[in-house]
Amino acid sequence: MHDFNYRHNNLYCESVNIEELARKYGTPLYVYSRNTLISHYRKIKEAFSPINPLVCFSMKANSNLAICKALVKEGAGLDIVSGGELYRAFKTGVSYRKIVYAGVGKTEKEIEIAIKRHIFFFNVESIPELELINKVAGRLGIRQKVAIRINPDIKARTHKYITTGHGGNKFGIDFETAKKIFLGKSRYKNLNISGIHMHIGSQIVDAEPFIRAMKRIAGFIRDLQRRRVAIRWLNIGGGLGIIYSKERPQTAKEYAKAVLPVLKKVNANIILEPGRFIAGNAGALITRVQYIKETPSKNFAIVDAGMNDLIRPSLYGVYHEILPVKSRSYSNSKEIRVFDVVGPICESGDFLGKGRKFISLKEGDLLSVMGAGAYGFSMSSNYNSRPRAAEVMVEGSKTKLIRRRETHEDLIRTEI
């Protein structure tokens, strides 16, 4: 399915032995497969080829420059949510005309820089934000394209922290208010309000909530068109789920097949903003077992990666598969033991996986936490004054360090 496979009992990323990477670059270490990354981008492009959409990679999933550059080189645009991501986006060499900017709390400074750079679209999340963008655009003498982010009031079955498309959360604008904005858009003299944006949540594994949301939005667009309000762009967001354990998510093809009929009825250009689907399975977090600790109630594998490196299990209680970098067979079932895989951080919530079975696991062994390419490194921190991990990208048999490991000096660099 992806490019992490065993060869003679050793886990490889493409044609590179992960054990060698760990020896060379140390652990914890993020390892990415360029092939998985690019092929997932292409899967989306291909699935949607009948309507030739602009696919903007959602940088929040993984904002490493090398990752983003690889996608930009393939033709991707970028979906950003902050001045920092805007800065990173510039560094990738992406055409500013392929940048879309979402987020509920854009500051005046961020808005100003983005307008000056001539980004493609702001995805606007409230009326005060719309007014601020209008004001800044006026000051700069630039007419700015904006899309209104609609909250279609759809519940998607996913983790409560990552569902964004139902009433009662902070994202988007309700239909009624959006309608008023579109019908009265002439009062925003410096804006070209010509797009609609939606993003209903993340790690959504079936097409049904997307379709429900899109149908509502398509009806809304038709209603506006009847009132002579042209909607030229529809951004359908990201949110496509991936396999972490037993999910059976829709493929890009199935997703496209389900939503294309709805999209084709809307006479607008389409934008997509996938993050996890492109980067998620392209990355693994490699960590070394520091101690095996046996207690009366449980065995712990204490590893050198913690919640500061990968916070998803601690924050959302979600599952990441954990594979031994050297796979072993067993002759006696007693060699199979169950472990909680935990980090060195001083919190009980610091774990990467619970109740995981390993064969003859011992100190010094390497483990690979799978599906860590999205919202892994990008959510990492220096908690407990832990330098952040290094990142490497594998392409065939070649390896490139794309972020060096932080040093202790890095930890205090900005302190006065």
Torsion of CA 366, 371, 373, 379, to 10 degrees: -90
Catalytic-labelled residue, pool 13, 56, 68, 346: 346
Query: Pairing between strand 366-369 and 336-342?
Result: unpaired
Give the residue with the Cβ less far from ligand LLP, 361 or 370.
370
Is the backbone peptide bond immediately before 28 cis, with ω within 30 degrees of 0?
yes
Count of residues touching ligand LLP (by CB under 6 A)? 21
**Interaction mask 330-349, ligand LLP, x per CB under 6 A:** --------------------
Q: How far is the CB of 160 from ligand LLP (least distance, A)?
A: 11
The answer to whether 262 contacts ligand LLP (rule: CB under 6 A) is no
DSSP 144: E
**Interaction mask 203-242, ligand LLP, x per CB under 6 A:** x---------------------------------xxxx--
The answer to whether 368 contacts ligand LLP (rule: CB under 6 A) is no
Contacts 24+ apart (CB under 8 A), 112-120: 112/136, 112/140, 113/83, 113/86, 114/83, 114/86, 115/140, 115/142, 115/144, 116/140, 116/142, 117/86, 117/90, 118/142, 119/86, 120/77, 120/96, 120/145
Separation between Cα atoms, residue 351 and residue 336, nearest integer Å: 20
Residue 292 bridge partners (DSSP):
301
The answer to whether 373 contacts ligand LLP (rule: CB under 6 A) is no
Active site residue 56: no
**Interaction mask 38-67, ligand LLP, x per CB under 6 A:** --------------------x-xx------
Question: Strands (DSSP E) along 304-389, which ranges?
Answer: 322-324, 336-342, 351-359, 366-369
Site for ligand LLP in 263-292 (CB under 6 A): 273-277
Query: Under a CB-based contact definition with an 8 Å cutoff, are residues 149 and 123 in contact?
Result: yes
Task: Choose, by CB under 6 A, the member of 31, 70, 102, 367 that binds ligand LLP.
Answer: 102
CB-closest chain residue to ligand LLP: 238
DSSP 376: T
Q: How far is the CB of 158 from ligand LLP (least distance, A)?
A: 8
Binding site for ligand LLP (CB under 6 A): 58, 60-61, 79, 102, 162, 199, 202-203, 237-240, 273-277, 312, 374-375
Please identify every residue annotated as catalytic: 346
